[in-house]
Chain A
C-alpha cells in the first residue's frame, strides 16, 4: 500500500538548471497538489489539479509548471532553478477538495539550488 510516492527524495541543482519532480498515487484520487515547505512557514500551495488533464495555479506558482497527463501522476517542473526555490516539496492527493477533506502526503523532496 504505497499511497503517495515522490521521486527523487533529495536533489542538488545549480542555478539555471531544470528538473522534474514526480508524484505518483495509487489511491485513485481525483485531486492532487504540490506544496513547498520553508522553515518557520506553513505549507504553501504551488499548483493543483482537480482531475486528469487539468491544472491550476495555487498561492506561489511563479517559476514552476505542472502536468497531469495520467490520473495517478502529477509532475512539477522547474525550468530554470533559482536559489529561492530551495525548499522541501510535498505532493498530496485527496478524494475530494483538500479544502473540505483529508489529504494524503508523500514523504517530500528536499531540493537545494546552489
Chain B
C-alpha cells in the first residue's frame, strides 16, 4: 500500500528565514497532495494542496512543488514568522489518503 515519509521530524529556523519540508510517497498512482498545519491544541487545517497535473503552486509565502518522477513533494515557507510555528503534515492519495508523520516547525525570534 501507499507509504508517505516526511522529513525532518523537527525543523528550527530563524525568523525571516525560509523553511523546507520534504515528503516522499510510494504509490505512483497518487494524484492529490495536501499539506495541513496543526497548531497546538487544534485540529489540522489545510494550507495548500497540489494535484498531479501541476508541478508547483504558490499562495503568498507558501509554495508546494511536486516531482512525479522522483515521487516527492515539498512545502516551502518563505519569510517565516512566529505564527508559522506548528506541526505540518503532508499527505498523498490515490484511493485513500495516507499521512506523513509530521514536522514540528519552530521559528526562533
Contacts and interface: CB of A to CB of B under 8 A. Distances in A.
B101 A107 contact: no
A100 B43 contact: no
Contact of B44 (A44, A99, A105): A105
A43 B42 contact: no
B86 to A, nearest CB: 13
A100 B32 contact: yes
A4 to B, nearest CB: 7
Contact of A43 (B49, B89, B93, B94): B89
A45 B1 CA distance: 14
Interface residues of B, number: 24
Contacts of B95: 99
A111 B67 CA distance: 39
Given A40-B101, A42-B4, A43-B89, A102 B43 contact: no
B99 interface: yes
Given A42-B4, A42-B91, A42-B99, A99 B43 contact: no
Contacts of B101: 40-42
B44 A43 contact: yes
Contacts of B91: 42
Interface in A87-104: 90, 92, 98-100, 102-103
B41 interface: yes
Contacts of A45: 96-97
Given A43-B99, A100-B32, A107 B41 contact: yes
A6 B2 CA distance: 29
A107 B43 contact: yes
Interface of B: 4, 6, 9, 32, 34, 41-46, 49, 89, 91, 93-102
Interface of A: 4, 40-45, 59, 90, 92, 98-100, 102-103, 105-108
